Amino acid sequence: MTNITTWARVKSPWVLHFNSGACNGCDIEVVALLTPKYDVERFGVKLEPSPRHADVLLTTGCVTEQCAERLKRIYEQMPQPKFVVAIGACACAGGVFAGNYSVVGGVDKVIPVNAYIPGCPPRPEAIIDGVVKLLNSLQQPAANKEEVKTDGKQ
Amino acid sequence: MIDYLWLVFRVLVFPGFTFLLFLTMFCDWIERKIEARMQNRMGPSFTGPSGILQPLADFIKLLTKEEITPNDSRKYIFRFAPLFAFSVLVFALCFLPIDGTSVIPDASFGGDLIFVMALISVANFLLFLSGWSSSNPYSSIGAARVLTQFLGYDIPLFLLALAPAFLAGSLTIATIVDSQWIPFVVLAPWAFVLFIITMQAELEKDPFDIPHAESEVVAGHETEYSGGKLAFLKFARDVQIVFGSSLITVLFLGGANGPVFFGLQALWGTLWFVLKVVVIIIISEYMTVLFARLRIDQIVKANWKFMLPLSVLSLLLTIGLAVWVYPMV
């Protein structure tokens, strides 16, 4: 049963894109993911309009003081299990805006982050790689259990 | 005893629930694949062979997610509207002769076409309730748009569905299917074209998909739904699409009629029925991808100014032909 659930979760991650004060560089790379050249629908990724439908929150931008509250609320509106991916140098640690008076600096200061994808902006391949690594980490505990089992038998 | 087992088998397994479930998922996959190919993309590719299991993965994932009920929502309506919409549509599908006879044996009665059309209205109204009960501005706008659109397009849809009824001389679906030794699409092509366009509006597909226009109202009436309830809401929509295509198949393309080469007639009937449904779905998906979305005022205007007069004209033409011209041929 858990295997089927994990399979379904890995095969159908629906994403929500949130811009918390980015310069639009990373956002264009996120949009490039969905367009014909990279087409992440191959992996079952769909861009959803509502946070209630999403599994993965793709955040870009350095998180301005005004946006922090909204980012937190959007995160709280998503149903469990939920994952957050910080895309770009700004979302990872504030980037060039770190230390600015109006900026929190980094998504992980507001909400928990599961995967960091650095770059200014990161290439679409890098974003796909990050999301795939995040999803593969879901399968990890099950794989470990199997290893333990085989060890026990030996 | 055997009769009861046969009934249970028919309703739950073969032309019934399980079969319809997989048919719906198959049609959903075809839609996504066509949409992707027309946009020069690959579409779902790695979930099963050519991504054919993608709708199943989506469904299971949504079922296992957390379900959130907003505090201000009307809780009971919010919870039950998606389930009822889903079950009403599956129930309506059970009246269509998928393998030659209706899914529930002997369910066919005089005038069941009207009953089935009424069930679509009920399902649409339940979708409206699902948005109305979730106490979200976007849901409310989406729900109001569902109602505006469906009030307009229900009348032409019904008038157009009367054309095959007049050609067959009966309001019973089984009789309409049986009398199509020439499919009605040949005898009344104008009604067929108008019916497909109206069905597109009834199913909220693209030229008419304002109830959940993503760039305007987030996800329309689905905005507040998550987890299992969302799974059933999305599935209800897919079942609605299969139901619409099946209705067109039954009324205009001769349902399960087709050549039987060897073996069981029921299996060949099912094969022809599914093939015809898939053809209709491909046509409607082409329309969805090719046309841009209309505004709500344009849709209401298009309905009352064009679709309603055209459907009345089409009905008059069909009646004239059915009464005076075709009996002579």
Distance CA B317, CA B298 (A): 27
Q: Which amino acid is at A28?
A: I
> pLDDT exceeding 90 applies to what percent of chain B?
7
Nearest C-alpha of chain A: how many angstroms from B38? 10
pLDDT at B293: 84
Instruction: Grade residue A152 by pLDDT with cuts at 50, 70 and 90.
Output: very low
Task: Judge contact between B29 and B51, C-beta under 8 A.
Answer: yes
Residue of A8, A39, A52 with shortest CB distance to B57: A8
At B157, phi and psi to the nearest 5? Answer: -60, -45
Taking contacts as CB-CB distances below 8 angstroms, the residues of chain B near A39 are 36, 41-43
Taking contacts as CB-CB distances below 8 angstroms, the residues of chain A near B223 are 49-50, 52
Nearest C-alpha of chain B: how many angstroms from A78? 8
Residue of A35, A43, A52 with shortest CB distance to B68: A52
* Interchain contact, B230 vs A53, CB within 8 Å: yes
Q: Considering chain B, what is the average pLDDT of its residues?
A: 85
> Does B33 lie at the interface with A, CB-CB under 8 angstroms?
no
> Does A99 lie at the interface with B, CB-CB under 8 angstroms?
no
Give how far Cα B328 sits from Cα of A59, B186, B252, B321, B322, Å: 70, 17, 21, 10, 10
Strands A56-60, A115-117: pairing kind: unpaired
The strand order across the sheet containing A14-19 reads A46-47, A14-19, A56-60, A83-87, A115-117
pLDDT per residue over B125-140, tens digit each? 888 888 888 888 888 8
Distance CA A86, CA A106 (A): 8
Tokens of B122: 């009920």
Task: Judge contact between B226 and B79, C-beta under 8 A.
Answer: no
**Which position has the higher pLDDT, B206 or A144?**
B206
Neighbours of A147 (CB within 10 A): 9
Q: What chain B residue is nearest to A14 in terms of C-alpha separation?
A: B58
Taking contacts as CB-CB distances below 8 angstroms, the residues of chain B near A44 are 44, 46-47, 51, 54, 57-58
3-state secondary structure of B127: helix
Kindly report the three-state secondary structure assignment for every residue of B149-197.
Answer: HHHHHHHHHHHHHHHHHHHHCCCCHHHHHHCCCCCHHHHCHHHHHHHHH
* Interchain contact, B51 vs A4, CB within 8 Å: no
> Does B71 lie at the interface with A, CB-CB under 8 angstroms?
no
Tokens of B59: 């469904």
pLDDT at B279: 92
DSSP state of A72: H
pLDDT at B282: 92
pLDDT at B169 over 60: yes
* Interchain contact, B219 vs A53, CB within 8 Å: yes
Distance CA B256, CA B177 (A): 8
Strands A14-19, A56-60: pairing kind: parallel
Q: What chain B residue is nearest to A52 in terms of C-alpha separation?
A: B226
> pLDDT exceeding 70 applies to what percent of chain A?
90
Distance CA B207, CA B99 (A): 32
pLDDT at B76: 87
> Does B53 lie at the interface with A, CB-CB under 8 angstroms?
yes
3-state secondary structure of A45: coil
pLDDT at A148: 39
CB pairs under 8 A between A and B: 90
> Does B40 lie at the interface with A, CB-CB under 8 angstroms?
yes
Taking contacts as CB-CB distances below 8 angstroms, the residues of chain A near B43 are 39, 41-42
CATH architecture, domain defined by A15-121: 3-Layer(aba) Sandwich (3.40)
Distance CA B235, CA A152 (A): 44
Task: Judge contact between B288 and B205, C-beta under 8 A.
Answer: yes
Task: Judge contact between B155 and B308, C-beta under 8 A.
Answer: yes
Instruction: Grade residue A149 by pLDDT with cuts at 50, 70 and 90.
Output: very low
pLDDT per residue over A118-137, tens digit each? 888 888 889 888 888 888 88
pLDDT per residue over B68-89, tens digit each? 888 888 888 888 888 898 999 9
pLDDT per residue over B238-249, tens digit each? 999 999 999 999
pLDDT per residue over A38-70, tens digit each? 888 888 888 888 888 888 999 998 888 888 899
pLDDT at A145: 45
Task: Judge contact between B70 and B213, C-beta under 8 A.
Answer: no
Q: ipTM score of the complex?
A: 0.82
pLDDT per residue over A105-121, tens digit each? 888 888 888 889 988 88
Q: Where are the domains of chain B?
A: 2-328
Question: Which residue of A12, A40, A57, A136 is the best one to mutate when testing the B interface, meaning the one whose CB has the most B CBs within 10 A?
Answer: A12
pLDDT at B170: 85
pLDDT at B278: 92
Q: Where are the domains of chain A?
A: 15-121
Residue among B88, B101, B77, B84 at smallest CA distance from B7: B101
pLDDT at B269: 82
Distance CA A16, CA A58 (A): 6
pLDDT at B312: 92
pLDDT at A153 over 80: no
Q: What chain B residue is nearest to A42 in terms of C-alpha separation?
A: B44
Instruction: Grade residue B30 by pLDDT with cuts at 50, 70 and 90.
Output: very high
- For A5-25, what is the mean pLDDT? 87
